[in-house]
């Protein structure tokens, strides 16, 4: 090629930004809010955090495609070395704010999904050349998005495990499921509740589909003791009739525990050797919370999980709950964890113990109560277990503001109310929807 042609080719003008169109990269200032925990000076004090804004800049070519959306989210995290907070995919995203000139930071757009991103891209295309975008990210918001996605994945994996158990132990002819107990070699019916508990144990990595979990539901000793129990129900009750109303929700729990014990198979089984007395079964420490959670979500027992403190204080578990129903449940029905009226009665007991017999107030915490009648309450923060004591005359229904443990609050501000019960000599949770009133400073 002649030399003068090479000079003409090398001196040809480069394409202008207007000729490149949508392929022009934009400069984005990425501001990430991070939180650093301060050293604690009190054993049970509220944890404090220092908020700091880190600023970096990146360049990005915007396009209204999902791949471009994922690339942009990933690039902002990588620029701040925070890519471990969340693995960004088309189905796993995190929200942020984007300031597009000429708007200011106060009017920055919320980018929560792909549709928001596409609308922002159209505004960016109409933006004047040379302008800079600003993206506002929050470390806590990104962590919450990662936790929500992990929870959704756990739910999906639980459904997959349920299908696996149904396929392995189900009978396609009558849709019934049975498994062979590894300790007694008996054929045991596998109910939907048992299958869900087994699936959760598999998801937690505690067992496999070949071995049932070592919980009270699958314990041979529990099944045998329930079969030999002296209480029997009439044929009308067994056929679905409504039993006599229990005196309390705990009594209802005892009845359900007794009625839903798996029925032994009608076909003869091989005789097995008796279990030796010293051959104890594993007693997992979490079986009581799991049972109460199951009763709350599957059996319709309101606030069942709040009974754990009372049951644990009396050393009662699901395996012996039905044996103690006649003599203990009536007294337990008035415990402060069973409802707002019981809590008010227990607060009255606390006032009498403090020498407040001549009080001029009733249980609703109205004015005129003496200082000696104050009840000790405690804020228990859900993060790091911090807490703070305060005093009040009683409780009332919370009519204003968000609940203390609302998910709409920042994570560091969420807490639960507890109060000291003179009857139980321990701290007891205040029922949902109630708050101490009036609150006085820690003395």
Same domain, 225 and 289: yes
Q: Over the stretch 260-315, which tens digit does the pLDDT of each residue have?
A: 555 555 655 555 555 454 444 454 555 778 888 887 787 777 777 777 777 777 77
Q: Do 328 and 412 lie in a common domain?
A: no
Secondary structure (DSSP) of 105-168: GGGPEEE-SHHHHHHHHHHHHTSPTT--EEEEEEHHHHHHHHHHHHHHHHHHHHHHHHHHHHHH
> Any idea how long the chain is?
443
Is the predicted pLDDT of residue 146 greater than 60, yes or no? yes
273 within a domain of the structure (yes/no)? no
Let me know the angle formed at the C-alpha of 74 by 158 and 135, rounded to the nearest 5 degrees.
115
Q: Which pLDDT does position 350 carry in this prediction? A: 54
Say whether pTM exceeds 0.85: no
Domain shared by 84 and 191, yes or no: no
Percent of the chain having pLDDT more than 70? 64
Same domain, residue pair 54 and 103:
yes
Q: What's the CA gap between 225 and 174, in Å, rounded?
A: 29
How many independent structural domains does the chain possess?
3
Burial of 360-373, coded b for 16+ CB within 10 Å and e otherwise, reads ebebebeeebeeeb
Closest CA relative to residue 430, chosen from 417, 443, 414, 421: 417
User: What is the pLDDT at residue 32?
Assistant: 95
Does residue 163 lie within any of the structural domains?
no
Is 328 part of any domain? yes
Domain that holds residue 50: 22-147
Task: Grade residue 80 by pLDDT with cuts at 50, 70 and 90.
Answer: very high
Q: Does residue 155 fall inside a structural domain?
A: no
Assess if residue 276 is contained within a domain.
no
CA distance 327 to 231: 15
Q: Which of 332, 356, 374 is the last residue of a domain?
A: 332
In a domain, 223, yes or no: yes
Please indicate, yes or no, whether residues 35 and 142 belong to a single structural domain of this protein.
yes
8: confidence class by pLDDT, cuts 50, 70, 90: very low
Tokens 């804020």 found at = 379
- Which of 193, 191, 228 lies closest to 323 in space, CA to CA? 228
Residues 39 and 175 in one domain: no
Give the residue from 204, 92, 84, 208 showing the smallest Cα distance to 154: 204
Q: Does 227 lie in the same domain as 320?
A: yes
Residue at a domain's end among 291, 310, 332: 332
For the stretch 84-121, pLDDT in tens is: 888 898 888 999 999 999 888 888 999 999 999 999 99
| pLDDT value of residue 272 | 54
Domain annotation covers residue 292: yes
Neighbours of 75 (CB within 10 A): 16
Task: Tell whether 287 and 412 lie within a shared domain.
Answer: no
| Residue 86 forms part of a structural domain | yes
Pair (376, 292) in one structural domain: no
137 and 33 both lie in a single domain: yes
Residue 86's beta-bridge partner residues? none
Q: Are residues 176 and 316 in the same domain?
A: yes
Is the same domain home to 78 and 183? Answer: no
């Amino acid at each position: 090629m002649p030399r003068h042609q090479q000079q003409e080719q090398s001196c040809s003008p480069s394409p202008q930004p207007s000729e490149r169109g949508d392929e022009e990269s934009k400069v984005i200032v990425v501001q990430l809010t991070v939180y650093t925990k301060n050293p604690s000076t009190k054993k049970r004090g509220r944890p404090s955090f220092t908020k700091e804004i880190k600023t970096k800049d990146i360049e990005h070519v915007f396009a209204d495609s999902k791949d471009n959306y994922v690339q942009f989210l990933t690039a902002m995290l990588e620029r701040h070395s925070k890519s471990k907070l969340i693995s960004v995919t088309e189905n796993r995203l995190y929200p942020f704010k984007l300031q597009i000139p000429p708007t200011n930071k106060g009017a920055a757009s919320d980018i929560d999904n792909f549709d928001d991103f596409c609308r922002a891209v159209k505004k960016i295309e109409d933006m004047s050349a040379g302008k800079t975008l600003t993206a506002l990210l929050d470390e806590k918001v990104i962590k919450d998005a990662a936790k929500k996605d992990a929870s959704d994945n756990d739910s999906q994996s639980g459904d997959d495990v349920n299908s696996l158990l149904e396929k392995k132990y189900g009978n396609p002819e009558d849709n019934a499921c049975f498994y062979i107990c590894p300790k007694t070699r008996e054929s045991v019916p596998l109910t939907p509740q048992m299958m869900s508990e087994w699936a959760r144990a598999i998801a937690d990595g505690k067992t496999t589909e070949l071995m049932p979990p070592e919980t009270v539901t699958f314990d041979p000793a529990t099944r045998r003791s329930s079969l030999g129990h002296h209480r029997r129900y009439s044929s009308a009750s067994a056929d679905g009739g409504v039993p006599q109303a229990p005196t309390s929700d705990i009594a209802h729990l005892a009845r359900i525990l007794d009625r839903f014990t798996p029925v032994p198979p009608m076909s003869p089984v091989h005789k097995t050797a008796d279990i030796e007395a010293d051959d104890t079964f594993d007693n997992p420490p979490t079986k009581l919370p799991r049972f109460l959670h199951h009763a709350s979500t599957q059996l319709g027992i309101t606030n069942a999980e709040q009974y754990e403190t009372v049951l644990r204080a009396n050393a009662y578990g699901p395996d012996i709950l039905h044996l103690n129903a006649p003599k203990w449940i009536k007294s337990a029905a008035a415990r402060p964890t069973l409802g707002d009226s019981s809590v008010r009665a227990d607060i009255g007991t606390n006032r009498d113990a403090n020498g407040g017999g001549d009080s001029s107030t009733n249980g609703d915490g109205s004015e005129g109560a003496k200082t000696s009648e104050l009840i000790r309450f405690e804020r228990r923060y859900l993060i790091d277990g911090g807490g703070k004591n305060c005093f009040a005359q009683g409780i009332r229904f919370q009519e204003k503001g968000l609940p203390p443990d609302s998910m709409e609050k920042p994570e560091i501000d969420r807490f639960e109310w507890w109060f000291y019960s003179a009857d139980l000599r321990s701290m007891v949770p205040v029922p949902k929807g109630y708050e101490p009133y009036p609150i006085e400073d820690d003395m």
